[in-house]
Structure 1
Amino acid sequence: MPAPSPLTIATQSVQRLVKEEKYYRKELEQQNERLKRLETELKAAGEGADGNAGFVLKQEQKARDETKAVFAPLNERIVEAVQRLEEQIAAAESEEGSPEEIKKANEALELGKSVEEPPAA
């Protein structure tokens, strides 16, 4: 089996980064839901809440903040990967590369460009 072309490598890189970004968005959503639930439980318990509840809440907030911090560098890597992919597509088109590879690359390019801005901190 021949080594993958630079276009294939660039395509897979963008796909992987977009998948990773989706995973972190889903994780952030779950953490926000968990935080809301914990805050509600803490308010409902009022003065009768155990001392551990406040600690657990702070730990969840810290985990959420760490997840949010992942987005800026990840989005920078996605932008760089998209630029590399654009260059590889241009090179493949000028060299009349495989139409199937170019089609997959263009689909990955659209995925990479469709990634939203990072969530507000």
Structure 2
Amino acid sequence: MAPPSQLSIATSSVNRLVKEEASYHKELEQQHARIAKLDEDGGDENAEYQLRQEQKAIEETKAMFPALRQRIKDALAKLEQQLEKNEGSADPAEITKAKEAVASAQKAIRKSA
């Protein structure tokens, strides 16, 4: 089996980073839901501690976004460079996947900005 091309590697990298960001957004929503549930239930002597821990977890998750956004931008730039370099010579299916990855990365960057 032939090794993956640079275009394929760059495409996979962008796709992985976009999925990672989506995962952090999902985790953030779950954490907000847990905080809402803790606020609703209240009463428990341990609730205040749990609430602080959940809020700390939210802050840690939010802190991941700027660095992740920068990694997406860097990977996107590399992918666009590879696309320009391989536009005419690469497999058309590979180019299509790369263009789809570019679109999803740009959407993720706009969404998080």
TM-score by length of 1: 0.87
2:96 maps to which residue?
103
Structure 1 residues 4-51: Cα deviation after superposition (integer angstroms, max 9, x where no partner): 100000000000000111111000001001101111222xxxxxx343
Please report how far the alpha carbon of residue 117 of structure 1 lies from its aligned counterpart in structure 2 after TM superposition.
1.3
1:80 maps to which residue?
74
TM-score by length of 2: 0.93
- Matches for 1:1-121 after TM superposition, within 5 Å: 1-42=1-42, 49-93=43-87, 95-115=88-108, 116-117=111-112
Aligned CA distance change for structure 1 residues 50 and 33 (closer, same or farther; 3 Å) = closer
Query: Which blocks of at least 5 consecutive residues in structure 1 are unaligned?
Result: 43-48
12-21 or 49-58: bigger deviation = 49-58
What is the root-mean-square deviation in Å for CA atoms of aligned residues? 1.1
C-alpha distance in structure 1 between counterparts of 2:49 and 2:90, whole Å: 57
SS in 2 for 1:97: coil
Runs of 4+ in structure 1 displaced over 2 angstroms?
none
63-72 or 4-13: bigger deviation = 63-72
Query: Which blocks of at least 5 consecutive residues in structure 2 are unaligned?
Result: none
Q: How many residues were matched structurally? A: 111
